[in-house]
Amino acid sequence: MDRRRSLIALSSLLAPAWGIAQQQPQPLVLGTSTAGGGFALYGEMLERVLNRRSGRTLLQARRTRGTAENLELLERGAVDAALIQGTAAGEVLAQGAASGLRILFAMYPSPGMLAVPSASAAQRLEDLRGRPVVFGVKASGLVTLARQVFDGIGLDIDRDFEAIYVEQAAQSPALVVEGRAEALWGAGEGWPGFVRLAQSAGGARFLGPSPEQIPRIRAKYPLLQAMDVAAGSYPGIAAPLPTVGSVNWILARADLDTPRATAFVAAMREAAPALAAELPQAAFSTLANTLASAPSAELLHPALRTR
């Protein structure tokens, strides 16, 4: 009898804890990019900061091959949300509700540019014609951006350059540092490949489209926006660098349940200062910038429309 009473008492103590555990929502699974890529860096920073602040596993970052795979994973329901390069996101969201995707939060802008060693004679993008250039992981949004920028000035990255593609973004800067390539394509502030190249012994310079080329690029690809890379963003950028780019997005499946989406949005809002302190480009990830940058309110997840 005493043993039975002990078991009943133990069960009554464990029941509330078990009930709480059962009520904990599943983590939001977020597709990012390959190791060494800017999206992987951002996604893993979100996972670390949001989970630490919430005291639970709110977010689970999953490495992928980038934007193209992320869109496939979203379509299959293999992830709840994913980091999507801006122009690719714009093309999908142009389908409206039929896309099955919604904006969950803004990431940061990605102005595209080429980095060359400081000693390079190249002064313009077209000076690298016929030369080996690292464009990144073939399925990534960075390569999509490169194709559009160079097509806008009448060049094809596969036909007019010795295009080099890598399996992981982390492999890219070494090819330039070691002299196996003459330039590295990338985008945005704090991009790991640019950081490594700019901090290498030879240093780096950065090239964007000329002022005359930017309107031509935007006329052909209107989803791209004119952007300036701020002076000092990397060693080697002494003055604002004009170029083009787009705002990258965290997109979610339209059927992502509102409680988990709302918890994520609330965590992003509360963690904004901590995110900016952890990663400078994440300073753009605010509710105000999300709402201001969205193509239309109808494309926002309901968790945002109720804020």
Average pLDDT over residues 199-214: 96
With a cut of 80, say whether residue 195 has pLDDT above it: yes
Q: 180: how many CB neighbours lie within 10 A of its CB?
A: 11
pLDDT band at 170 (very low <50, low <70, confident <90, very high): confident
Q: Provide the pLDDT for residue 139.
A: 85
C-alpha to C-alpha distance for 236 and 249, rounded to whole angstroms = 28
Dig out the tokens for 293 from the structure.
Answer: 């940058």
C-alpha to C-alpha distance for 85 and 224, rounded to whole angstroms = 11
What are the E-state strand segments in 33-121? 59-62, 81-84, 101-117
Bridge-based pairing state of the strands 101-117 and 183-187 = antiparallel
Asked if 239 and 255 touch (Cβ cutoff 8 Å), the reply is no
Start-to-end C-alpha separation, the chain = 56
**What percent of the chain lies above the pLDDT cut of 70?**
92
C-alpha to C-alpha distance for 280 and 283, rounded to whole angstroms = 6
Q: Nearest-5° angle of CA 164, CA 124, CA 284?
A: 75
With a cut of 80, say whether residue 15 has pLDDT above it: no
Q: Provide the pLDDT for residue 18.
A: 44
Q: Provide the pLDDT for residue 17.
A: 43
C-alpha to C-alpha distance for 215 and 75, rounded to whole angstroms = 34
Average pLDDT over residues 171-177: 94
Dig out the tokens for 9 from the structure.
Answer: 């008492």
Q: Provide the pLDDT for residue 20.
A: 42
Q: Provide the pLDDT for residue 97.
A: 83
Residue 93, amino acid: L
Residue in this structure with the two tokens 């133990």, named with its chain if needed: 10
pLDDT band at 216 (very low <50, low <70, confident <90, very high): very high
Q: Provide the pLDDT for residue 96.
A: 87
- State the pTM of this model: 0.80
152: Cβ–Cβ under 8 A, 6 or more apart, which residues?
209, 213, 216, 217, 218, 219, 220, 221, 224, 244
Q: Phi-psi category of 247—alpha, beta or left, where left has phi over 0 and alpha has psi -120 to 50?
A: beta
- What pLDDT, in 10s, does the model give residues 61-78? 999 999 999 999 999 999
Domains of the chain, earliest start first: 26-109+247-305 (3.40.190.10), 110-246 (3.40.190.10)
Q: Provide the pLDDT for residue 14.
A: 52
Q: Mean pLDDT of all residues in the chain? A: 91
Rg value, the chain, Cα: 22
- What pLDDT, in 10s, does the model give residues 97-155? 889 999 999 999 999 999 999 999 999 999 999 999 999 999 888 999 999 999 999 99
